[in-house]
Amino acid sequence: MKFPFIVLIFFLATLFASADKPVKIFDELYRPQFHFTPEKNWHNDPNGLFFYKGEYHLFYQYNPYGLEWGFMHWGHAISTDLIHWEHLPIALYPDNESKDKELCTAFSGCGFVDEGNITGLQKGSEKTILLFYTSQKCGQRLAYSNDKGRTWQKYEKNPIIAFDETDDARDPKVFWHEESKQYVMVLYRKPNNDNKQKGVSFYVSKNLISWTFKSHLPGFFECPDLVELAVNRRSDDKKWVLFDGDGSYLIGSFNGEKFIPDSPKMPSDYGANYYATQTWSNIPEADGRTIQIAWMKGGEFPGMPFKGQMTFPNELSLKKFTEGIRLVRKPIKEIELLHEKGDKWENENLIPGINKNLTRGVKDDCLHIIGNFKIKSADSFGFVLRLDKKDNGTELMYNVKSKTLSCMNKSAVIEPVDGVLKLEILLDRSSIEIFANDGKVVMSSCFVPTENANGLYLFNTGGELLVEKLEVYPVRSIYDIKK
């Protein structure tokens, strides 16, 4: 009878030992390791992005009560490098003590530093930081901070733009327009509850409090943003870019009151999960970048304590191509802060059926992949990402004949340049972001890989492929978790 008793004791000891080892927060199976997520619960649109005294502020739509949309508050985090984030207490709560799922909850908006104390709200030595937001069905409102964004007060004369029951006005974005010497607010609206008039309105102000309507442009839906960018990085050639909620954009001119398009509306992302883009305000001139982030809308995170993630921050620019001026997006250079020791290859000629997998030694669930591929006689080439032991994974493929880059059932046409296709890939535990030809085409998608699938397979079919350059870096967790 001793043997079964010993077995029972061993079984129970093993059971309780495993129960004492819960999964660490921020190290769960599908937890992104270098993309922003809250510790728990639902989040969506990025809000209130600004830079002040060495800190990048990120706010976001947040439900503190569960994994579903609703009961919107503004979550808050800060970073000194746009990579590592410190979570701060909730910044904005629903107005009028609302307990409703939607009424008077804190919908999307923007952040702005009142450098000259135009509002007169500054108390003390710190500049006043303003948050413009939509109190759903309760008007456009203002909150402010006098302690570097640590605590927030609601403006006592809210709303600054009253609610109109014949309209669906929300998601204000505010900036200074140098040419007209005034502040501008871009606001999504649906005047007269007319779906055909869904679009963006432009308001102006001298004091950031009183706003005057100037013009309306139909054809947009939610979360507008308007930024000025140099073309080919020339300071004497600039254009304005107006973004829609899905990241699509128009290029044109803006006189402080009216936007005049000179391009068709174009997509800025061809992936499955990309929405509610917003750029940081008050970036120092010494930096000079326009930095954008988006919510990866529709992503699934089975079994996780959180729902949703942000894209990795991108730098925006405009570039002239033969077909016209286009928006270009690239991951910010700070990604290199997370590089582990990687692998590099140069001038490797791959022949189908002869060469073994060039990247067979790569085993990691988070990667930064940078490569230049000379298409010789290949019909197609690409990667199988998060490859498991049964040779299953997520395929990223370029079809040479159709000039189509495909991944996660999404595709985009991209022309090689002098026979070379450039690819940059950010692979996290639950997302794939692909930047082709220096960001001319971008595809951002969430995915659910197989557990313990950490392989990488570079393939080509039908003919030869020259790998001019390939660098693969494991990406260190921003939570300093040992893998």
Question: Rounded to an integer, what is the distance from CA 165 to the centroid of its chain?
Answer: 32
- Domain covering 339-474 assigned CATH 3.20.20.70 in the classification: no
Given a cut of 50, the residues of the chain with pLDDT beneath it are 1-20, 483
Q: Which of 152, 172, 168, 174 is nearest to 95 (CA)?
A: 152
* pTM as predicted: 0.93
**3-class secondary structure, 450:** coil
pLDDT at 12: 41
Q: Class assignment of domain 41-333? A: mainly beta
Query: What is the side-by-side order of every strand in the sheet holding 153-154?
Result: 106-114, 128-135, 140-145, 153-154
User: Bridge-partner residues for 230, per DSSP?
Assistant: 238
Which position has the token pair 């993309």?
A: 35
* 470 neighbors 358 (Cβ within 8 angstroms): yes
Q: Which residue has the tokens 């930096």?
A: 287
Give me the DSSP letters along 464-475.
-EEEEEEEEEEB
- pLDDT in the model for residue 2: 43
Residue 214 neighbours by CB distance under 10 Å: 16
Tell me the two tokens of residue 380. Answer: 């197609």
pLDDT score for 391: 86
The structural domains of the chain, with segments of one domain joined by +, span 41-333, 339-474
Which residues make Cβ contacts (< 8 Å) with residue 124, sequence separation at least 6? 146, 147
194 residue type, one letter:
D
- Check residue 7 and give its pLDDT: 37
Tell me, what amino acid is at 122?
Q
Q: Between vectors from CA 274 to CA 132 and to CA 239, what angle results, nearest 5°? A: 65
Distances (CA, A) of 31 to 306, 313, 446, 458: 8, 17, 12, 25
What count of Cα atoms within 13 Å lies in the side-chain half-sphere of residue 409?
Answer: 4
Pair of tokens at residue 291: 């930095």
State the catalytic residues. Answer: 45
Among the listed residues 244, 270, 313, the one whose alpha carbon sits nearest the alpha carbon of residue 49: 313
Are 130 and 122 within 8 A, CB to CB? no
DSSP letters spanning 204-249: EESSSSS-EEEEEEES--S--EEEEEEETTEEEEEEEEEE-TTS-E
**pLDDT at res. 5:** 43
Give the type of residue at 41: N
CA 323 to CA 19: how far, in whole Å? 60
Rounded distance between C-alpha atoms, residue 27 and residue 36, angstroms: 13
